[in-house]
Structure 1
Amino acid sequence: MTGPVLRPLLFLDVDGPLIPFGAGAHELPGGYPAYGTGDGANPLLARLDPALGPRLLALPCELVWATTWMADANAWVAPRIGLPDLPVVSWPDPSEGDGPGRTHWKTPALAAYAAGRPFAWVDDEITAADRTWVRAHHPAPALLHRVDPRFGLVPADFTTLAAWLRRPTRPQEVTT
């Protein structure tokens, strides 16, 4: 007898993938788009594209916040892009990772949260060291997808995510 088939997880970072930054407005055609907050909130929230929520919800996965915004992502980000409250990954002491050639401090926590389930992770700080670590420590397929923080999630990122999430899974597969 087999249990229910669980959909892959999609771990979402906020700063970089959902809120673009890292380039001056003069470096982007027309500058950063501003969708407006009008409520005295963090001015970076004006960079949240409300079209992202429906695109994320259309992906065949379970969405999970993987951001230092923690539960604030449900309060400030989710409503602006049309997402429901999402589960939130709890973080360890960030001093345990990072540095040249070291895994990002989020990487082990995400693999632990996934608990053997396939997962995709979108972040602007993913490196080869993270992919190597996941390959060695996570038994299920994983897509560690680095997003350009100057632009955030763009249509090409959604194409990559959708294709990976819809394909049959193979053990020990970690892709970019």
Structure 2
Amino acid sequence: MPERPLLLLDVDGPLNPYAAQAQRRPAGYGTHRMRPEGWSAGRPLRVWLSPEHGTELRALAEAYELVWATTWKGEANTWIGPRLGLPELPFVDWPTMHGRAPAGTFWKTQYLLEYAAGRPFAWVDDDITSYDREYVEQRHLAGALLMYVDPRRGLVRQDFDALHAWAAEL
């Protein structure tokens, strides 16, 4: 049996629609106050999470290997996963965060190709652009789905349907 494709998950944007208006929390989301390592602001970080995302991601785990691809790194297993009912997941341990990136790409892109190591992957993030798609298409021979998620709304039903359909086509 071939390895399942990777589902590389960003937190802020896809799971936490941080860019929604503060007074208009998206329907179905709960407010969580968190103090991850390195958070130095006086007030805890506000994070909006939807329990429905946990249900959808657990269903996708039948077709994908779920991996945190977020600046939360392993802390996603402490702060995010439990609130979504997810088990501990592997995470991309970025060698450098927010650094320079090749060919106009987002800084994560080069590292995600290294992490995937030739495996098919789907990546959900709010920072994906056409430069990232072109870069991956030119350098990654296996299938890849780069899904931009609007950080004002987070992942929606159509996104989960597209992820299921893409995995089924591999």
Q: TM-score, normalised by structure 2?
A: 0.85
1:35 aligns with 2:36: no
Equivalent position SS for 1:152:
coil
Separation in 2 of the partners of 1:81 and 1:153? 14
Aligned-partner residue type, residue 13 of structure 2: G
Shift of 1:111: 0.8
Structure 1: stretches of 5+ with no match in the other structure? 169-176
Aligned-partner residue type, residue 9 of structure 1: L
The match for 1:24 among 6, 21, 24 is 21
The match for 2:123 among 107, 121, 145 is 121
Shift of 1:161: 0.9
Does the CA-based 8 Å contact 1:9-1:63 persist in structure 2? yes
1:49 aligns with 2:50: yes
The match for 1:71 among 64, 71, 74 is 74
Shift of 1:86: 0.3
Aligned-partner residue type, residue 11 of structure 1: L
Separation in 2 of the partners of 1:87 and 1:40? 21
The match for 1:92 among 69, 90, 95 is 95
Bigger Cα Rg: 1
Cα pair distance change 1:65/1:38, threshold 3 Å: closer
More strand by share: 2
Residue deviations 1:2-54, cap 9 Å, x none?
A: xx41000000000000000213145x5xx434524478884523x11112112
Paired position in structure 2 for 1:81: 84
Equivalent position SS for 2:78:
helix
Shift of 1:70: 0.6
Q: TM-score, normalised by structure 1?
A: 0.83
Aligned-partner residue type, residue 4 of structure 2: R
Shift of 1:114: 0.6
Shift of 1:104: 0.7
Does the CA-based 8 Å contact 1:25-1:32 persist in structure 2? no
Give the share of equivalent positions with the same residue, in percent. Answer: 50
Higher relative contact order (CA 8 A, sep 6+): 2
Equivalent position SS for 1:58:
helix
Separation in 1 of the partners of 2:140 and 2:16? 29
Equivalent position SS for 2:80:
helix
- How many corresponding residue pairs? 159
Separation in 2 of the partners of 1:38 and 1:104? 28
Does the CA-based 8 Å contact 1:17-1:123 persist in structure 2? yes
Separation in 2 of the partners of 1:16 and 1:131? 18
Equivalent position SS for 2:73:
coil
Separation in 1 of the partners of 2:119 and 2:101? 23
Does the CA-based 8 Å contact 1:19-1:44 persist in structure 2? no
Separation in 1 of the partners of 2:155 and 2:166? 16
Separation in 2 of the partners of 1:37 and 1:144? 28
